[in-house]
Structure 1
């Protein structure tokens, strides 16, 4: 049956009968939509729809929760970035020209393939030589020589300028340079300036020993060697056979004393070469061999018999070569003077015989030179530093009695020497000696020398003594005359440098600039001084020095080997340590420069006479100051690239050229303290090293350490001796002498520790510094050590390394290595594993 008629079969089951009243008139429905709209049909999927609605709600809630979470994370990130921006400022780079220059220098010098924990010197300086090729005129080249050559170039440029309205001494310096540069006039004058000086010294124009006449009787020849030696001292300021000077009294630094011994000033004239040994060290105005100034090679051609002993056969060969070169040099020198006099034309002697006589004369000079050299070097034996607490003093009569005894014991004839010598020297001054009260300081070794030289001269023919004195005087003057002689000196100088036979001398302009700087350094400094130095640079250096002295005081306080009394005395010495920074304060006082150079005369036509006049004025001033109190003068000129500690004045001198690049003004404090700071620390430590410890706060040579402290100190120094004696130079197949270099090694080590501590305190007070471009990943401590290592970058030849072995300073690479191996903070800064070369298990530490 059908509910609704249709063409299909059953659709919904049986029909339903309704009453008439309930029947509704319903229009016919055409389709399913109509049915649904009319409410007749209910969708079969209604339960699924409800499920979908519930599921849709959950999805919306989940989406909302996710969105909220993302918003929360974004807010958290924003807060973190804000806090980081607020409290963690971005890296501050130092972009000043000083920082950029320092960054470039360090980067170009470094060998980044090297491991800083294995060989820090190679890491810092491995490529330095490529960026700083060694000039041929130098046996070795480093920052100190590089800076000094630039200073000479600056001096040269100033002296060559046509500048007026300068103080008289500055104009005299320019005239001195002009005379030096006029080589045409020097060649025209030939040897006449030297012959004129020889006349004033009572010396012949050529050695009498050459003897151009056949009937000359040497036995009757008389020569007053003592009178000539006195004149050489007063006119040239030069020691020949006898050494004499005026020094600060070791036990009372406020007064001066007379000192005698072996010759000290053997060449008063400026060097003809710039190849000098320039290192940080100490300077002490004293006569005692073990406490002499930094070694400076005598570049005027003089004899040096010291050879490196690499086997008897090699040494014998070197000695024979040395002897041949010297004899040939002196023979040629003497022949030029024989020819200059013209006496050979009037002589019957032939050319061949003349050459034979000259060669015999050169041989004779070489023999007497060796004899005197042996006497001089015999008193260079090592002496215990405590011996300097008891330096003998003698009256002139006591010296004469002692030397007379030695002369007579050597079958000689005693002659009065010493009183006549002193009277002759002081005759050019306004000082009258009292031989009863003016006693002379003479060390034991120097007294031995005076006795032996008196005995030797008593048994030596006068003509031979004259020969020796003539050559010693002429060889230092003739280098400043003609081109012919200058070439002779240069050729012989090169022949002696066996490992580099040809090395051109520096340009004449730089030689003359160096000579003027040596003779009139204060006038030069006055002319080129930076006008901003006094108000800008000097205060910074004073702060650095004060911080370093405070650092040393702190380190002394932590030491356990010093007792309290010695610590207290050390603090007092540190407090009273004086500093001379840049240049003398009297530069700013009108008329003081003229007063300093009063009496000097300079002529543009007389180069040699100019130098001699300046020397004579200086020697006279030295003699006149004998009765005056010590006024603690500068130890060096402001234009010298070095720094000094003067023991007897407890004073540190830092010339103005050391306060410039590459030692200072490097852009960052870490770099400045790593370079100049360690230099200053080195000088401060010198007051308490092997010998500086003997001089008290007033610069007096008095015992101020207790015996227990001294014993502890000596025991601790053995560590340094052993450490540095193990350093090997493969180029020479030699080891370093750790005992000879002990004082300088202690100063290097102390300087680094003090400067680093001073830097840390400085940064703590003034705040962290900026980062160095290209080195942003490095800490201030790492930059400090980089700067210290870079300070000692350089390149050396075999010749210079041989000289280093005879110097009290260690070679450059060992100065960098030793002080850092002993520094635990270095190993921490560079994360060096224990037992690595730069982080040894045993360290040497005093301060």
Structure 2
């Protein structure tokens, strides 16, 4: 903290100033207590994994836990990975049927649905995703769900352009910057497969694939944050009419592994409109074999590109390998990449290793609607089954392991929803808590209940307590209002009068956070509205909870003259002190401002904060007008 700054003028820099100015962050694009907690949890499990690998651990492990340890070993054995180089990936290319073979020889035409299913076999969803998920309209049942996919570079906003982008524009470097990067990336991948990157035919084929990616991405309807999400359930016949680009009954039966019933219902995440637009694009490409070959090669490009994340050739120069790091992470974060991938493939076994080390007492104390690790971690048989996901080489362990996870999700189709099952969109080893609307469940990943984020009791309430309050509050945001007490979408459980009053109070937050942006930009404030409200309510309920339950266990901190109320708010703010590396400060400026607004905005609305620090009325941290939801 920087005590030279008046806490009633700028509490963020009062709480964080010296730490930001005196700390050196060389290895991470950004750093705060939450990241530190995440890294410490990872360090803990890495240390034990290394003991197991080196034969220095006496902790008994089951078959699944040993497989999880072995995957981490394969993932971090850089000498072996460099020795293997591209050899396994090149064999994978052949198994997939090659890439752009039309440019070298005549090849038989492959039906589009087979090209898509082939990519699905390797857990790559190149054009659209198909999953089995909770039915938003009936949260006790599962339903086949179709949703749009992310582009190669994962961020759809990079593809924005004021004019339609064509293959010719891309070839002549007249398209958006992202298309030039993709062209370079595609040409470099082509050289790995023996193509001449200077060949006009090669360059044209790649530019046509990028044009297709741009068209699919810019006609999508992807929704972000906690805004309204279009969600519709249709019959197989309706799906066929909306998108007559595939025989959907045949395609889905082939994917699921059982005949799809004539009355089968299909959920469309994002609604009908994006799928209809997507289908019109593909129908145009299906009018000629030449254009259809562009689609097939695009599918293979995404499949091959995704799996480059699992190889480490000795030479990794050029744009291609820089872009691959979007998936594999930079070299200095290799252990973190390996832990997260292992956690995804072994969602029970790897957290179980950590639980054996760290104990579960704190996690077990959480209420029943808060989860910090999967209940099935107590199921030895389930972990034994996970043991089958390991292979003799990292590449195939990743490929087949991810396939087993996907198959497990698909097999839920005819099964009822377990309300206590882990929400598998986030691994247990992560730092991202979520509110699941369909199950009315808050999921706190194992990492977040660890030190230093969850430490002494006062800081538990100020840090983890505010996050719990934040996530609960999402039950009342725009999506939460639409789900109702049972979790079912479409339940009108709010009266019109309640909605009107809620919107009136929302307007206060929009105005306040627009001012905090420095530009009075209400559009930006509307985008982050429900996150901002959740920050405010989370702080308020955590402070009340601490006053009611936590103060009896409070221990004074040596060397600080602050009283316990002041320490609570200091602990809250310091949980969000953010340090950016020099090379990332410009890139992540908006994110950095979000951290500041997270602290300042909520504290400006807290009468308890103003009282604790005796802030004069109308001082920057104690404005007369405060936004209060309840």
TM-score of the pair, normalised by structure 1? 0.65
Question: Pairwise mapping of residues 293-332 of structure 1 onto structure 2 (< 5 A)?
Answer: 298=154, 305-306=158-159, 321-332=177-188
2:237 equivalent to 1:454: no
2:568 equivalent to 1:784: yes
Match of 1:46 in 2: none
Match of 1:105 in 2: none
Distance 1:592 1:619, change over 3 A: closer
Distance 2:617 2:189 in 1: 61
Distance 2:493 2:509 in 1: 23
Distance 2:145 2:324 in 1: 36
Task: Name which of 545, 548, 556 aligns with 1:771.
Answer: 556
Distance 1:480 1:111, change over 3 A: same
Question: Pairwise mapping of residues 608-623 of structure 1 onto structure 2 (< 5 A)?
Answer: 608-623=395-410
Match of 1:474 in 2: 304
Distance 1:318 1:787, change over 3 A: farther
Asked if structure 2 preserves the Cα contact closer than 8 Å seen for 1:208 and 1:463, the reply is: no
Q: Deviations over 1:815-845 (max 9, x none)?
A: 0011111111111111111111111121111
Distance 2:82 2:398 in 1: 17
Distance 1:736 1:698 in 2: 32
2:207 equivalent to 1:363: yes
Distance 1:457 1:725, change over 3 A: farther
Partner SS, residue 332 of structure 2: coil
Match of 2:2 in 1: 111
Distance 2:577 2:343 in 1: 26
How far did residue 755 of structure 1 move? 0.6
Partner SS, residue 443 of structure 2: strand
Match of 1:394 in 2: 234
Partner SS, residue 380 of structure 1: coil
Question: Pairwise mapping of residues 662-741 of structure 1 onto structure 2 (< 5 A)?
Answer: 662-666=452-456, 669-701=457-489, 702-728=491-517, 737-741=524-528
Distance 2:394 2:2 in 1: 48
Distance 1:155 1:801, change over 3 A: farther
Distance 1:195 1:456, change over 3 A: farther
Distance 1:672 1:524, change over 3 A: same
Distance 1:357 1:319, change over 3 A: closer
Distance 2:625 2:497 in 1: 24
Task: Name which of 222, 233, 256 aligns with 1:380.
Answer: 222
Distance 1:111 1:470 in 2: 54
Distance 1:654 1:236 in 2: 30
Distance 2:268 2:161 in 1: 34
Partner SS, residue 338 of structure 1: coil
Task: Name which of 593, 598, 601 aligns with 1:818.
Answer: 601
Match of 1:754 in 2: 541
Which ranges of structure 2 fall in alignment gaps of 5 or more residues?
163-171
Asked if structure 2 preserves the Cα contact closer than 8 Å seen for 1:212 and 1:354, the reply is: no
Give the structure with higher Rg (CA): 1
Partner SS, residue 219 of structure 2: helix
How far did residue 594 of structure 1 move? 2.0
How far did residue 179 of structure 1 move? 2.1
Which ranges of structure 1 fall in alignment gaps of 5 or more residues?
1-109, 268-296, 310-315, 340-350, 405-414, 497-502, 546-576
- CA RMSD in angstroms comes to 3.4
Distance 2:247 2:324 in 1: 40
Partner SS, residue 412 of structure 2: helix
Distance 1:260 1:490 in 2: 30
Match of 2:272 in 1: 444
Asked if structure 2 preserves the Cα contact closer than 8 Å seen for 1:682 and 1:747, the reply is: yes
Q: Deviations over 1:598-644 (max 9, x none)?
A: 6x23234x111111111121121111111001113112333212322
Match of 2:432 in 1: 642
Asked if structure 1 preserves the Cα contact closer than 8 Å seen for 2:12 and 2:600, the reply is: yes
Question: Pairwise mapping of residues 623-634 of structure 1 onto structure 2 (< 5 A)?
Answer: 623-632=410-419, 633-634=421-422
How many pairs align?
A: 606
Distance 2:225 2:459 in 1: 39
Distance 1:381 1:787 in 2: 33
Match of 1:62 in 2: none
Partner SS, residue 624 of structure 2: coil
Match of 1:207 in 2: 100
Distance 1:228 1:320 in 2: 29
Match of 1:432 in 2: 259
How far did residue 803 of structure 1 move? 5.7
Structure 1 stretch 766-775 or stretch 828-837: which is displaced more?
Answer: 766-775
Distance 1:184 1:719 in 2: 58
Distance 1:620 1:713 in 2: 43
Match of 2:31 in 1: 141
Q: Deviations over 1:115-168 (max 9, x none)?
A: 1111100000112234542234x3222222222233333333222222474100
Distance 1:242 1:675 in 2: 38
Q: Deviations over 1:257-290 (max 9, x none)?
A: 12223226x78xxxxxxxxxxxxxxxxxxxxxxx
Partner SS, residue 296 of structure 2: helix
How far did residue 795 of structure 1 move? 1.9
Distance 1:307 1:114 in 2: 42
Distance 1:439 1:495 in 2: 35
Q: Deviations over 1:627-676 (max 9, x none)?
A: 0011131123332123221111011112232122222122xx33221111
Partner SS, residue 626 of structure 2: coil
